[in-house]
Amino acid sequence: MQVVRDIMTTTVVTLDPAMTLREAATMFADHHVSGAPVVANGRVVGVLSASDILGAEAGPTMRDEDFDTGEPDLLDDDDDGSLAPFFSRLWPDAAMDVDERFGAGRNADRAGGSSLLDDRTVSDAMTRTVLEVRPDASIGLAADRMATSSVHRLLVIDDDGLAGIITTTDIARWLAGRLKALR
């Protein structure tokens, strides 16, 4: 039986929590990865993905506590059913889409200003819950953990710490090899 150790990536790109999101995005592009563990003082403290960077750049997200603000309801009886007034009160720039936000950041850079990618750190946007698997775990267990958690990577942790990373791409390659062998 093949295990995670057999297909995991052992040369892992890691990020420092103090890096800016722009530095992290550049590392992702340079290394052709979409996420990486965040390591401080030799210990994994989180994971940052491209989705986390987009979420940080896009602005606030809706959480359960956002719905009960103690303020009057933002949707009144005269409302046409549009949620625009609700969102525009929460986020003054709600009409700005992701492309415009990134463009605004680039324009700010040209003008000598900064953008959220420059002002926010990896620590600000990273996911602090680290999903992990042991190197001797079955590939099926790793795949199941990714599927049930809706993630694309698991950190492979052994007694000495970070041993590697296994991604959905690693599992797809492994499956493709098995299917090819069956033909």
Instruction: Please tell me the least confidently modeled range out of 20-34, 72-86, 138-152.
Output: 72-86
Instruction: Please tell me the least confidently modeled range out of 20-29, 87-96, 159-168.
Output: 87-96
Whether pLDDT at 68 is above 90:
no
Domains of the chain: 4-62+84-182 (3.10.580.10)
Q: CA–CA separation, 61 vs 106, rounded Å?
A: 23
Across all residues in the chain, what is the average pLDDT?
A: 80
pLDDT at 1: 84
To the nearest whole percent, how much of the chain has pLDDT over 70?
69
Q: CA–CA separation, 134 vs 130, rounded Å?
A: 13
pLDDT at 64: 42
Please, which contacts does 103-106 make with residues 24 or more away whose CB atoms are closer than 8 Å?
105/57
pLDDT at 35: 94
The pTM of the full predicted model, rounded to 2 decimals, is 0.68
| Residues 169, 146 contacting (CB under 8 angstroms) | no
Query: What is the mean pLDDT of the segment spanning 17-39?
Result: 96
* CB neighbourhood size of 159 (10 A): 7
